Amino acid sequence: MELRRDYLFMMLCFMILLMRGEGQLSENFYASTCPNVEMIVRQAVLTKISQTFVTVPGTLRLFFHDCFIEGCDASIMIQSPNNDAEKDAKDNLSLAGDGFDTVVKAKQAVEAICPGVVSCADVLAIAARDVVALTGGPTFNVELGRQDGLISQASRVKGNLPEPDFNLASLTSLFSKHNLNQVDLVALSGAHTVGFSHCDRFANRLYSFSPSSQVDPSLDPAYAKQLMDSCPKNVDPTIAINMDPQTPRLFDNVYYQNLVAGKGLFTSDDELFKDPATKAVVVDFANNPFNFNRAFATAMIKLGRTGVKTGNGGEIRRDCSSFNVKNAT
C-alpha cells in the first residue's frame, strides 16, 4: 500500500512537469530534426538588421509582449480578419512591423530546410537572442521545444503588460507572475538601451506632472529640455525618439548610467533608481557591464520558459500569422 502511494505520487509529479512544459525545453531540441536552425535564423536576422536597425528593438519587444500575455507561444504573430487578435490590442499597436517581418522571414528560411518542424515561438526566441548579441549584448544558449499557441485574443492583453507610469510595486507584481524577480526586472528593463518610444508615452512628465511642477523634477533639466524640443505639445503622434540618448544603436549598460544621471525616459525607468529596493542593482549594472550582461541573459532564459505549450496544448505553425487547426481562437 505504501509503495503504491509512492508510485502514484511520483506519477502525479511527472504529469505536472509535462503540463508545465518547462521540463521539455532543451538547448539541443532540434539536434536531429533541424540541426542548423539557429544558424538559419541568425542569417535571416543579420540580413534584416542590415536593412533597418528597427529590427533590433522591434524583435526584442515582440518577444517580451508575446511571453507576457499567453506565454512564449507566438500568439502575438496571429493576424485576425476581425482585428481582434493579440497584435490588435491597443497596447500592441505600437509594435514595430520590422519585428514581425524578422520572424516571418526567419521562419520561411527555416521552413525551406526543415518543413513543419520548428515552431514560430522558437524562431522568435532565437531571433530575440540574436538581435541582442549582434548589437554588442550578451549571447546565451536558447532553450527550445516550444509549440505555437492556439489562442490569440486582443481582450486578454489589457493588464498583462508593463505601463510607462508603473511604480516598482506594480512592476514587481507583474513580473513575479512569470517567475521573474526584481533583479530580472531591472535586467530586462535594460532592453530600453536600444528601444524607442512615441512622445505620448512620457508627455505627462514634461507638461502635466503635478500641480506644482509641469516637468518631473527627477528629470535632468538638460534632458527634459531635449525631450521637449523633440516632443513639443501636440506633436505628431507618430514621432518616436530613442530611449537611450547616448548609444541608441548599442546593446550596452548605458541605460543604467542614464538612470543614475536623471535621464530615464519613463516613470517606470526612474522608479528603478529611486526605489531603495532596486537602486543598488541599477548602480551595479551602471558600473559593471559584465554583471548586467550575465543578469540579462539569465532573465531572458527565465522569461523564455513562461507559458510553454507542449503536446495537445499547441501546434507547429507553417505560417506564423495563422493557426493550423480550425478550432483555434
Binding site, annotated residues for heme b: 192
Task: Judge whether 46 and 280 are in contact, CB under 8 Å.
Answer: no
Which residues participate in the annotated binding site for substrate? Answer: 162
Catalytic residue among 42, 48, 61, 65: 65
Q: How far apart are CA 76 and CA 63, in angstroms?
A: 9
**DSSP bridge pairs for 242:** 196
Q: Which residue is listed with cell 500500500?
A: 1
Cell of 273: 533608481
Taking the alpha carbons of 71, 131, 124, 93 in that order, is the dihedral positive or negative?
Answer: positive
Give Cβ neighbours of residue 56 (< 8 Å, ≥ 6 apart).
49, 131, 132, 134, 135, 194, 249, 251
- Residue 69 to residue 63: CA distance in whole angstroms: 10
CA 102 – CA 49 distance, rounded (Å): 9
Residue 65 annotated in active site:
yes
Report, as residue numbers or ranges, the catalytic residues: 65
